[in-house]
Chain A
Amino acid sequence: MATLQLLRGAEMLKQGAEGRVYRAEFLGKPAVIKQRFPKRYRHPELDEKLTHRRTMQEVRSIARCRRAGISTPVVYFVDYSCSCIFLEEIVDSQTVRDFIASARRSSSRSDQELQRLAELTGRILAKMHDEDVIHGDLTTSNMLLRRSADSSELELVLIDFGLSYISALAEDKGVDLYVLEKAFLSTHPNTEPLFQQLLGSYSASSKKSSAVIKKLEEVRLRGRKRSMVG
């Protein structure tokens, strides 16, 4: 109840597909509250199950990633009664999506910066998969970039783990990359070489990458072989 009261006065940052993201403070620290409100379009039983499962998965996978040294927001507090997660706000960050879009618009920022980003992303996804975390919704909107305080190095922060789960199967990891590939190439037209670079870095960083890339190719082929009739 207290959480919902807090939301009433808070500034809404974004209405995503899963829920609403508000700006807040938690014990004096900048925070965001992600609220999964009931979706009236779906059956109440289904809605409750999905909402509960996703809130739980988000918290779990974030913890697992952080333990492995993968940057994700800290979970400050969870209120299951209203499916609200209090997360560290990644201040002064932008989505990878906006970063790529603006880098491609401006000529001053070099291709080199994009290449470094692709390399970094591949490396971090490989690390996440080595922990058997399947993100489930990899897009360039679900990755934030910030410059670390001490240097000008870019830091990649993964967010939005509601569809995540734990699996060691190469098939699941391959599909995770396939989902990213489609989202990446449709959001950022004509970036095939950049995505190739990301995959290259993924392959070089992960011990188990060859089976995953093979699955990725298989899933792609299934898509291409499917008849487009009807």
Chain B
Amino acid sequence: MGAPLVTVAIVARTVAQLWGKPLLGVNHCIGHIEMGRLITKANNPTVLYVSGGNTQVIAYSQRRYRIFGETIDIAVGNCLDRFARVIKISNDPSPGYNIEQLAKRGKRYVELPYTVKGMDVSFSGILSYIEEAANKMLSADQCTPEDLCFSLQETVFAMLVEITERAMAHCGSQEVLIVGGVGCNLRLQEMMGVMCQERGAKLFATNERFCIDNGAMIAQAGWEMFRSGQVTQLEDSWITQRYRTDEVEVTWRD
């Protein structure tokens, strides 16, 4: 990921100088959140950010998006992708999408490790269990690939909904916004919706156009930053793969 980031940074700096436009360095996750807020009109939601590289439960307070919960090992999207490889599910158009479709035809619920620690989750246990057991169970006809997809989704999504609900109870929040690539999964959205209904809260989600990484979301976050008076000086512009959500001072919200 380093090389593409370096390349794009050079393009951005070049374009900024060519056209005399201000340059703004944007945090990727903040882009997801601000795009989600723009599209759904969610005001002050508890945010579940779920993608191939990230799993975080975030809420805003005192000028920062604060991380209340996150994965303590691998991201949920990573867990899904690696599971797909274990039982040889196609990458086309994406492993996550194919798991979602297969899961619809799953019938048997296979119990898998369920690891929630307060507002944090862990997926590495599920993955190693599946790596160990999946192909044995399939060849012994104990379950079908569809059953495994179904059971995996039911388990990991229940964990995600649980930590989101815990953060809401802790923060007294009545709104949820789901962002990030895994956020397009309709089963995850459905489960989150049921949880929200049970506590009289409101769910905000978007479809794949906005959930999946896109340029517009970076522009939207940059626009918010710019409106609040921020610009990045050319000599201060940099890239990093380890830019945590809570490192950014949110100057555009009260």
Question: Taking beta carbons and an 8 Å cutoff, which residues of A are in contact with B?
Answer: 14-17, 39-43, 45-46, 49-50, 136-139, 141, 163, 175-176, 178-180, 182-183, 186-187, 189, 219, 222-230
Contact = CB atoms under 8 A, between A and B. Distances in A.
A47 to B, nearest CB: 8
A16 B158 contact: no
Contacts of A178: 72, 120
Contact of B118 (A41, A136, A223, A228): A136
B161 A41 contact: yes
Nearest to B154: A43
B1 A17 contact: no
A228 B29 contact: yes
Contacts of B243: 228
B53 A223 contact: no
Given A16-B169, A189-B61, A179 B120 contact: yes
B119 interface: yes
Contacts of A17: 162, 165-166, 168-170
B241 interface: yes
B108 to A, nearest CB: 10
Interface string B24-67: 00001100000000000000000000011110000101101011
B87 to A, nearest CB: 20
Contacts, number: 123
B102 interface: no
Chain B contact residues: helix, strand, loop or mixed? mixed
Interface in B107-124: 109, 111, 114, 116-120
B117 A136 contact: yes
Interface stretch (B13-21, B125-133, B191-199, B222-230): B191-199
Interface residues of B, number: 53
Given A45-B111, A179-B120, 19 more contacts: A16-B166, A17-B169, A41-B194, A43-B154, A46-B111, A136-B118, A139-B170, A163-B116, A175-B72, A180-B118, A183-B68, A183-B118, A186-B67, A222-B73, A223-B70, A227-B241, A228-B244, A230-B51, A230-B75
Interface of B: 1, 28-29, 51-54, 59, 61-62, 64, 66-70, 72-73, 75, 77, 109, 111, 114, 116-120, 154-155, 158, 161-162, 165-166, 168-171, 181, 191-192, 194-195, 198-199, 213, 241-246
B118 A137 contact: yes
